[in-house]
Structure 1
Amino acid sequence: MGGNLAIIPARGGSKRIARKNIRHFAGRPILCWSIEIAQKSGLFDQIMVSTDDEEIAEVAREAGAEVPFMRSGEAADDHAPIATVLREVIGSYSANDRIFDRICCLFATAPFIEAEDLKAGFDLLDNSEFEVVIPVARFAYPIQRSLSRSGAGRVLLNHPEHADTRSQDLAEAYHDAGQWIWLNPAYLSRVQPLLGPATGSVVIDSSRVEDIDTEEDWRRAQWKFERLQQEEATL
């Protein structure tokens, strides 16, 4: 009983990039990168993939992850929030008398995850009052200078009060890196938002962040991944 569980959600449907979760990225199904880093981290007593797709399940098993049960239609819906998926997984384990101390959701299309970031997130969760911990990255450009754009192409400042404020005087802003979520399982049962007052964060380098939703994203991620591997090979 107890221990840490890694949950990797990987449903079969993907509208913008077909079969995204098992499409080959840098020589292997992209899902396998998340499985591998979970294995290498040494943080988890069990690594499972939540999927509704038999082909994805087979890829996951071949990579060394477990697929103890298939995801329900409700949790596999395109609009189902990630909390719904996690609750289903925890509920299924609980029904079989398997309880975990901590869970970590690792996203299937996040090949830039690093073990030290996972460790930093776990340590923060374990040694603080936070119920959830996520990785964040700084916005490269001040969001206070962001623009809105009309259909005709006209642009307007979203925050005109900062039109003349120096960049160095603007507060830094961060965004969810979209790689993993550490959390206490009991927090899910209280139907709380994953991003709220109980959420802590670990800052990671923006060079290792890429939200892969389009073909352009995919190409950019591959380019960044190859560059990072080249840099690591020269160290």
Structure 2
Amino acid sequence: MSTLAIITARGGSKRIPRKNIKEFCGKPIIAYSIEAAIGSGIFDEVMVSTDDEEISKIALSYGAKVPFLRSQEQSGDYATTSDVLLEVLDEYEKIGQSFDIGCCIYPTAPFITSDKLKEAGIKFKESDADSLIPVVPFSYPPQRCFVIRENMLSFKYPEYLNTRSQDLEKEYHDAGQFYFFRTKNFKESGNLLLGKVLPMVIDEMEVQDIDNLTDWQIAELKYKLMIDKTRI
């Protein structure tokens, strides 16, 4: 089955300027996603979808392809990941190329490794799932959360007030790193989360949302810990 890696990296970023190519532990953060995808050896093509010439040049220098630039319509603040992926698949079809499986990879996910992508890709191809998504367990049971109402704390789910944490069902959230999907199903649904979704559980020490500079610093610390751990 032909497989395409799509790294989504637009130029605009409000909270962290030039976020997708900002230096992270010694090199542009997008380089980690590109190198992991190429190093996995499971993709027929690794491409970057961007509207930005500088991002395009950096992507090419690390071995990715940029066969076309992203349209202005899909480069704004309200363009969804699904919109971008559908445009990429459509543009490839225009030049006579199609793929059975796609993998959306975020450009600010330095915890992605070639081994993780390879493991996920094999697991997905051997399944009958429509998509595969890395997830991470919540560090504290959401069922025991508080809400503030009229300036006072109260349990959002009082039915779990006396339930032991270990007796509550484990809950997970999107790790925000990559998504494998079958292109035919995705083009029909337009959504990566519909149908049969296969999970890949990731350790929370290898997951970090990067929305501000504090997040960035925490991510660098976690990354260094991850690298040190692999050297032991």
Post-superposition Cα deviations, 1:188-208, rounded to whole Å, max 9, x if no partner, equal: 221342113321111111110
Aligned to 2:68: 69
Aligned to 2:223: 225
2:203 aligned residue (192, 201, 205): 205
Give the distance between the partners of 1:224 and 1:75, measured in 2 at CA: 32
Q: CA deviation at 1:36?
A: 0.6
Q: CA deviation at 1:153?
A: 5.1
Give the distance between the partners of 2:214 and 2:155, measured in 1 at CA: 27
Identify which range, 22-31 or 154-163, moves more after superposition. 154-163
SS of residue in 2 equivalent to 1:99: coil
Identity of counterpart residues, as a percentage?
Answer: 43
RMSD value, Cα? 1.4
1:174 aligned residue (172, 196, 218): 172
> What is the letter of the counterpart of residue 65 of structure 2?
E
Give the distance between the partners of 2:205 and 2:166, measured in 1 at CA: 21
Post-superposition Cα deviations, 1:95-132, rounded to whole Å, max 9, x if no partner, equal: 11101121111110000012232123222321222111
Please identify runs of 4+ aligned residues in structure 1 that moved more than 6 A: none
Give the distance between the partners of 1:29 and 1:161, measured in 2 at CA: 48
Identify which range, 18-27 or 124-133, moves more after superposition. 124-133
1:187 aligned onto 2:185: yes
User: Are the equivalent residues in 1 in contact too, given 2:86–2:190 (CA < 8 A)?
Assistant: no
Q: CA deviation at 1:85?
A: 0.5
TM-score by length of 1: 0.94
Aligned to 1:24: 23
Give the distance between the partners of 2:204 and 2:20, measured in 1 at CA: 22
> What is the letter of the counterpart of residue 134 of structure 1?
I
> What is the letter of the counterpart of residue 181 of structure 2?
L
Aligned to 2:96: 97
SS of residue in 1 equivalent to 2:189: coil
Give the distance between the partners of 2:151 and 2:125, measured in 1 at CA: 49
| Paired residue total | 232
Give the distance between the partners of 1:112 and 1:118, measured in 2 at CA: 11
Q: CA deviation at 1:220?
A: 0.5
TM-score by length of 2: 0.95
Give the distance between the partners of 1:191 and 1:203, measured in 2 at CA: 25
Give the distance between the partners of 1:68 and 1:106, measured in 2 at CA: 17
Give the distance between the partners of 2:158 and 2:230, measured in 1 at CA: 43
Aligned to 1:13: 12
Q: CA deviation at 1:74?
A: 1.4
Give the distance between the partners of 2:175 and 2:100, measured in 1 at CA: 24
Identify which range, 117-126 or 170-179, moves more after superposition. 117-126
> What is the letter of the counterpart of residue 168 of structure 1?
Q
Aligned to 1:130: 129
Q: Which runs of 5+ in 2 are unaligned?
A: none
